[in-house]
Structure formats: C-alpha cells, structure tokens
Structure 1
Amino acid sequence: MKGDNAGRFNRTPGAPLRASAARVLHAVTGQGKSLDDALAFAEARNRFDARDSALLAAIVYGTLRNWRRLGVQAEAMMTRPLHEAPMVDALLRAGLFQMLDMRVPDHAVVSATAGAAQLLDAEWAAPLINALLRRAQREPEGLIVPEDAAVQHSWPDWLAARLRADWGEAAEALMASGNAQAPMTLRVNRRRMAASDYRARLQRTGQEARLLEGVPEALVLEQACEVEALPGFARGSVSVQDASAQLAAGLLDVHPGQRVLDACSAPGGKAAHILERCPDAELVALDSDRRRIRTVDATLQRVGLKATLAAADATDTARWWEGEPFDRILIDAPCSGTGVARRHPDIKWLRRESDITALAATQRALLDALWPLLAPGGRLVFATCSLLRAEGSELVRAFAEAQSVEDVTPDLPVGEREPVGWRIPAGGDWDGFYYAVLEHSPS
C-alpha cells in the first residue's frame, strides 16, 4: 500500500490510513470540500485495498456524524484546544471515534493514530495524542457526554434551532437519526419482475431482504453490499434508491402517451423509475450541469429505457421548451439535503443558514417558471429531501396561494400531513423528504 507520505516511511501499522482520514476530515471541515470529493481524492492518492478503503470510509463517516460531540470530549481532556492545528484536531477526533464507537482494538487505535501524526508533519503531536487516547482508554467514564441534544448528536446550533422550531419534541429524534447508519434500499424494475420474485432470487444467493409496505418496488437489504453483488444490476433488473425517493413516481401517476418533465433529473433514478412504471410516456429530463446529465443517460441506458435529455437551466424555459405543455412535471428541487444527513454527514458542516434562503429562492423560481408549462388538468409533484419547512410547506403554501392552486397530496405510508403537502421524518427505512402534489384546473 502506498501511503500519503511518499517521502517518508512509517512502520506503524495503520498509520497511513489514519493520516488519510485526518486529511479527508480537514478537507471537509476546514476547507469546505464535499465528503465525496475528499474521499475520492484520498482513494486516488493511495492504493488501499478493499478492506482498508472500507475502514477509511467508516472512520471518516462516523467521525463527521459525531464531529461536534467528539470535539467537546477532546477539549475536556486538554488544557489548550487544538484550534491552531486543525489537522491534528481532526486526527484526535478520529482516534476517539474509533476508540469509543468502533470495534477497533484500543492498542491499535493509539499506536496508529500517534504514528499518523508523524506522517502529517506534526511529530510534536504524537506524544500528546498518545497520552490523550491512553487516558480515554483508562478512564472512559470520565469523558463528557453533553446534555445538549445539538452537541450530543452533533448538529450546528442554527440547524438544531430550525429543527426544534419545525418539529417540536420530535427534533431530538431527528437529530439522533442523523447519526444512524442508513439502510440500503433497492428498487426492483417492475418490467423485469416483482419485488417478491427478486427477493427470492436474492435469498438463493444468501442475501436477505424484506418488502416495504406502501412502496411496491422496494426491498430493504438486511446487509448492505456492493452493487456488483446484486443479481441483474448491470442489466437493469434492480437499482439502489431510498424508499422515500421511490414515492415520487407513484405520486406523478403517469399514463401512456403523456408528456412528462423531470426538471432536475440527475442522477436519473426518478426518471428511470417513471419509465419503468410507464415506458410509453414521453419523458424530458433536464439538468443544469452537462456532466450530471450524462449520469442520467448512463442510468437510463442501464435499465434499457430512453428519454429526451438536455443540459439546461429549467427556469430558462425560452432556451429549451418548444411550446408543447406537459401532462406531468416533477421538480425534485435542489435543497439543503438535511433529510439525508445520515448518508451525507458533511451536510451538517458545509451548510450555512444563509444557504436556506438562497435555496428556497431557487425552489420558488422553479415553481414559478414551470407551472405555466403544465397542461390543463395536469399534475406537478414538488419534492425536496429537506426537513425544513422553509423548503417545504411554507414555500409551497405561498406559491399555491399566489396561483390559486389545489393541493391534492394523498396520505403516504409514513410521515404526516402539512398545511400544504406531506413531510417524512428521517429515520429507520426512510430518508427525510417533503412532497406536494398540485393539480392544474381542467379549464
């Protein structure tokens, strides 16, 4: 394995991997990079085997999920915080996470984490990290467990305040769910087989899964796996898609021959699902990013379906719309992503409160621009993977009142009704989501 520090050699087993973890964590929390990008860079820089890659991901995901709590626990053991040494701070938090929350032997955590300090050009920190981790090993009962839910579950104060305002007593459970491991949920291609038949196929390979009531194509795996291990994945028999996201196609209720717009389509999961349910629909899929629209194309090719694809800003209708109305429109709008924080823990640390106002403005612009494109009697489904009412019922209610639009959102298998639309709390089998179904008057 080629380590992070090509010019020096550290014989401590596991030290290069811990150094990589610290670099990834600092890239996210100190430099504002996405976790996906930071991890991809680390993987490209190192030649970790599959086992080490999995361990690296487990360390950085878990440390980010618990970032704030780990920081409080680390600072409680020190006379002076490590604010001026953010890479060392990240390394220490990762060490504490492994010791407190992972099944990594304490001696391995101590030696590998202290050794990693040398690879980060912070030899001075090795004795400090060694002493602090050994203290945590000897006196785990002395580590602070914060009473404040925002600190205990590691959410920024501004976001915790918004969750409390929007969800009341349920807010703490939502914050706790942001630290849980999300399930791997499949969407079975109904053109190929029923979910129950694919479940039996999985069982023959030793994989267990369960059906999910109210989501007919969904299977929740008992144990996550690589997609390559899923029978028929390459041929489009099955896809990976959260249960909440799978509700969109049913809410659209597309019929053969109808024109459908998927306005923010990448990476293409919902577009594929719409066509799996109704392959005779005429689907137009947009995304403002030319690179991301290629992922939609790849997704559709894998499941053997076709759509009209365009890289375009959906709100700039003069550039891409040819004047023929749509019978169905799906706006899966850009949002804060707070409903999927358990899958993307960097969201908690990259988002700023000012982002919510900007995102809500984008969402409203999409509604204002695309509603006139809906045919009389047509249906528009608005969706966000957000837990915040500013990106959900507050936004859509203001739009519906301005346009005198009828809300026809049905009851969903999970969640609760809002003044306009329906919201799903994050946790268990479900990502956090908001849906509103709006219909254009027939005349």
Structure 2
Amino acid sequence: MIKTQLIAVSIVSKVLTGSSLTAVLHECWQQHTTLSSQQKGAIQDFSYGVLRFYGQLAEILAILLSKSLHDKKIYYLLLIGLYQLLYSKLPAYTVVNQAVAASQSLTSGKSIQGLVNAVLRSFIRQKEKLLAKAAEKEVSLYSHPQWWIDKLRVQYPQHFHAILNADNKRPPMTLRVNQGKISVTAYQQLLSDNSMESRLIWPEALLLKKPVGVEKLPGFNDGLVSVQDAGAQLAAPLLDVHQGMRVLDACAAPGGKSGHLLELTDISLTILDNHKTRLTQVKQNLDRLQKRAAGIVCGDAAHPDAWWDGKLFDRILADVPCSASGVVCRHPDIKWLRRESDLHKFSVQQQAILHALWQILARNGKLLYVTCSIFPEENKLQIEQFLQQHSDARIEPLSEPEIQDGQLLPDSQHDGFFYTRLHKR
C-alpha cells in the first residue's frame, strides 16, 4: 500500500501542475511494469479520488494546517490520506500508519512524519466539525472551481446542483450491444449467466450494476459488445444513416461512434482524426468488431483541402474538440485543468471545423454537431452563430425526450452531451 500511495503522490502532483490524468497514468503503467492489478486499482482509486474531491480535501487540509506546507509531496500525501479516511473502507489506524510510513520515503525529517500523523489523527477526531466547516465554501461543497459553479448557476438555475453532484459520482459502465450479431435480450442473458447484473437504459444500452474488466465481458473479443457511454450511443442513430451512403466521421478517435455507425447499416465510412497514434486504436476497435471503413485518414477537420478526395458526403458526424465539461465524472482532472478562457479557444476551433465540413456536405445532406460539453458557448450559441452565416442550414428536431434544446445533462446513467442535426437545404 505504501508503494501505491507514493506513486499516486507523483501522479496527483503532475496532474495538478498541468498534465492530463489519462496521459500520466499511461506513462505510469509503462514505467512501473511489475505492478499487480490490485496495485494499479489502488493507484487509480487514490488518483481519481483525490482529483474528484480535491476542492473538499484541500479546504479540510487548509483548516488543519496552521501554515502553508511547502513540501508539495507531503501535501499530496496528506490529501490521499484524507481521501482514504473519508471514502475508503480501510481502518483509520491503517491509513494513518501507512501515510506516516510513506512520508519516511519522501523525507528523512522526523518532524514531517509527526506532522502527517498529527494532521490525520486530528481529522479523525474532528471529522464532522471539519466537514461542516469546509462545506461553507462552494468550491469545497461541490469540489469544482468557483468560476465553473458560478457559470452553471446562471446557465442551469434549476439543474446546477444535480450537474455538480453527478460530476462527482463514479462513472457508470454501459455496454452497446452489436445487434447485427446478437439481440439485446440474448446478450443480457449472457451477462446473467456470467453473474453480471444489468438493466436496459436505451434500445442498445445495458448498464452494468457493477463495472468489470472488458476481458470478463462475454463475447467482447468477438465484437458482440462494446463499452460506450449511454449518452454517446445516441450519436450514430441521430446521424440518420442509410445503406450505401457516403459518411464522414470527423474527429473520430477512439472510434466508438465509428463502430456504431458501421453496426447500423452498410455505409461507405471515412474515419478522420488528426492524431495518428489514436487512429491505431480506431483500427483495433474496428478489427475487434470485424468491420471495415472505406478509409482511415489522419488530417485536420478544419482543413479538408489537405485530405479530402473531392467527393461530397451524404452524412457528417462532427464530434468536435471541446472542454469535455460533460464527462467530468470520467475525467475529474478536467475541473482543475480547464480555465474559463479555454471556452473561447474551443469555440473558435469548433466554428472553424463546422464551416469547413459544411463545404464538403452534399445538398440535402445532414451534419450532426456533437460535443461532450454542457456549456452553451460551445453548444447552442455555436449553432446560432453558424445559422446566421449559412442560410442553407436548418435544424432538424430530435425526438429523444432526454435531450432538451439539444442538451443532454449528465446524471447517474450517462455523461453530458450536446446534439444538433443540421440539414443542408
């Protein structure tokens, strides 16, 4: 456990100084090749947990410390200790003893070991009082930056509490059944036969009661099923593809929506992304599903002249880069890495992609604009701006009752997404 705490200290440190949690974890697994699955699970739990509740943990620690702690590694170790005391089932004395032992590896000073011991034991004695005191500040209460809280309060006055709370839940594990190979009912029975409980959310979406490793999913390697958030599963059906159509999936990696499109009907699908390494993952996903794309292209969606073959597309899926504010439960580092100014940068990029892709969409074609964001600056306002500049575009109504004015808000069953289907007249 001490080793896992120390590695988690390093991970949290890198993330809170600007690195992506996903990238840091990938680097960690490459560096520490002998870690057991149990150790990896603990490292992920500590890292995700501290980042998920960072606002709360940091405020509690600020109250407990009489002055600022200059040794950042000890600071992060204390955050991990507080997280364990609050959210794990380990006995309190075990958490304290392991944290003290871990501090010995970070510094030789006995005063620091005494500080770690004193701070964590003080928390145990004053837990309820400290939780109440910390909750007086919104950053601590919701574990989100203040600018984020303030923005949601204005934009979603009836829902901002629920959105913030949903962000701090552990993400659900949802499966997309490949109905070209097996029915949803039959696959649900397969899960049951393997002691995995599930329930149907949407036509192809099964929510597992308890997440499992993909290697345990029956028929996963044979393409019977894919892991995909229920909200993301709406994209492919909403694009309204039909047999024989020429379709572009722009910004496609890691390819979940591409695979879904190919499962729906026989289309000529071009898959585009500007990250060459991520396109490798797309190809692996298609190989597992035993599906083939018409082309897999590395290129920038905002500059089709560099990769487009000159033939117009009947359908375009534009899942554009965004703040990812709708998938915070899966990526808690986003809350602390994003800045409000980033929204403008993303909106400029999104508008450029929209304009470029519109030029290569056939008349009477359809473009589905998608983000995993909940901020209107990247969603509704983007579409309003686009419509002002393109008289040949109109919005097609979406029938899904969960989507309100294009927005699917995150909850315990799915992430947050924005969908708008544009018809080119």
TM-score band, normalised by shorter chain: over 0.9
SS at match of 1:169: coil
> Does residue 396 of structure 2 align to residue 408 of structure 1?
yes
User: Are 1:149 and 1:172, in contact at CA under 8 Å, matched by a contact in 2?
Assistant: no
For residues 272-323 of structure 1, the C-alpha deviation after alignment (integer angstroms, 9 at most, x for no partner) is 0000001x20000100111111111111111011111000111211111111
State the 1:41 CA deviation.
Answer: 2.9
State the 1:122 CA deviation.
Answer: 5.8
State the 1:134 CA deviation.
Answer: 0.9
Matching of residues 35-46 of structure 1 within 5 Å:
35-46=21-32
Aligned counterpart for 1:384 among listed residues 363, 371, 392: 371
* Equivalent residue number for residue 414 of structure 2: 430
Moved more, 260-269 or 188-197: 188-197
C-alpha distance in 2 between matches for 1:45 and 1:251 = 42
> Does residue 196 of structure 2 align to residue 207 of structure 1?
yes
State the 1:43 CA deviation.
Answer: 3.0
* Equivalent residue number for residue 287 of structure 2: 301
For residues 312-365 of structure 1, the C-alpha deviation after alignment (integer angstroms, 9 at most, x for no partner) is 111211111111111100000011111000000010111122211111111100
SS at match of 2:301: coil
User: Are 2:6 and 2:102, in contact at CA under 8 Å, matched by a contact in 1?
Assistant: yes
C-alpha distance in 2 between matches for 1:125 and 1:338 = 38
C-alpha distance in 1 between matches for 2:103 and 2:401 = 49
C-alpha distance in 2 between matches for 1:94 and 1:413 = 41
Give me the identity figure in percent: 37
User: Are 1:189 and 1:238, in contact at CA under 8 Å, matched by a contact in 2?
Assistant: yes
State the 1:40 CA deviation.
Answer: 2.7
* Equivalent residue number for residue 259 of structure 2: 272
Structure 2 residues not aligned, in runs of 5+: none
Aligned counterpart for 2:125 among listed residues 138, 155, 161: 138
Aligned counterpart for 2:214 among listed residues 227, 244, 252: 227
Matching of residues 309-324 of structure 1 within 5 Å:
309-324=296-311
CA RMSD across the alignment: 1.3
Q: TM-score, normalised by structure 1?
A: 0.92
State the 1:389 CA deviation.
Answer: 0.3
C-alpha distance in 2 between matches for 1:319 and 1:139 = 62
State the 1:45 CA deviation.
Answer: 3.5
SS at match of 1:416: coil
> Does residue 157 of structure 2 align to residue 171 of structure 1?
no
SS at match of 1:262: strand
> Does residue 177 of structure 2 align to residue 188 of structure 1?
yes
* Equivalent residue number for residue 112 of structure 1: 98
User: Are 2:254 and 2:282, in contact at CA under 8 Å, matched by a contact in 1?
Assistant: yes
What amino acid is the match of 1:437? R
* Equivalent residue number for residue 53 of structure 2: 66
Aligned counterpart for 2:87 among listed residues 81, 101, 112: 101
> Does residue 137 of structure 2 align to residue 148 of structure 1?
yes
SS at match of 1:331: strand
Moved more, 35-44 or 237-246: 35-44
Moved more, 131-140 or 35-44: 35-44
1:412–1:96 CA distance, 2 compared to 1 (3 A): same
C-alpha distance in 1 between matches for 2:401 and 2:47 = 33
SS at match of 1:17: helix
1:425–1:352 CA distance, 2 compared to 1 (3 A): same
Aligned counterpart for 2:150 among listed residues 148, 161, 167: 161
SS at match of 1:426: coil
What amino acid is the match of 1:198? Y
State the 1:193 CA deviation.
Answer: 1.0
User: Are 2:248 and 2:315, in contact at CA under 8 Å, matched by a contact in 1?
Assistant: yes
What amino acid is the match of 2:87? D
User: Are 1:339 and 1:425, in contact at CA under 8 Å, matched by a contact in 2?
Assistant: yes
State the 1:247 CA deviation.
Answer: 0.3
* Equivalent residue number for residue 9 of structure 1: none
Report runs of 4+ in structure 1 exceeding 4 Å deviation.
none
Structure 1 residues not aligned, in runs of 5+: 1-13
What amino acid is the match of 1:116? A
> Does residue 320 of structure 2 align to residue 333 of structure 1?
yes
> Does residue 349 of structure 2 align to residue 362 of structure 1?
yes
User: Are 1:288 and 1:311, in contact at CA under 8 Å, matched by a contact in 2?
Assistant: yes
SS at match of 2:40: helix
Matching of residues 46-57 of structure 1 within 5 Å:
46=32, 47-57=34-44
> Does residue 423 of structure 2 align to residue 439 of structure 1?
yes
* Equivalent residue number for residue 254 of structure 1: 241
Moved more, 375-384 or 35-44: 35-44
What amino acid is the match of 1:317? P
What amino acid is the match of 1:33? S
C-alpha distance in 1 between matches for 2:93 and 2:25 = 26
State the 1:375 CA deviation.
Answer: 0.9
Q: TM-score, normalised by structure 2?
A: 0.96
Aligned counterpart for 1:128 among listed residues 93, 101, 115: 115
User: Are 1:174 and 1:426, in contact at CA under 8 Å, matched by a contact in 2?
Assistant: yes
State the 1:425 CA deviation.
Answer: 0.9
User: Are 2:138 and 2:146, in contact at CA under 8 Å, matched by a contact in 1?
Assistant: no
For residues 167-222 of structure 1, the C-alpha deviation after alignment (integer angstroms, 9 at most, x for no partner) is 1231122111111011100001111011111001110111111111xx31110001
Q: How many pairs were matched up?
A: 419
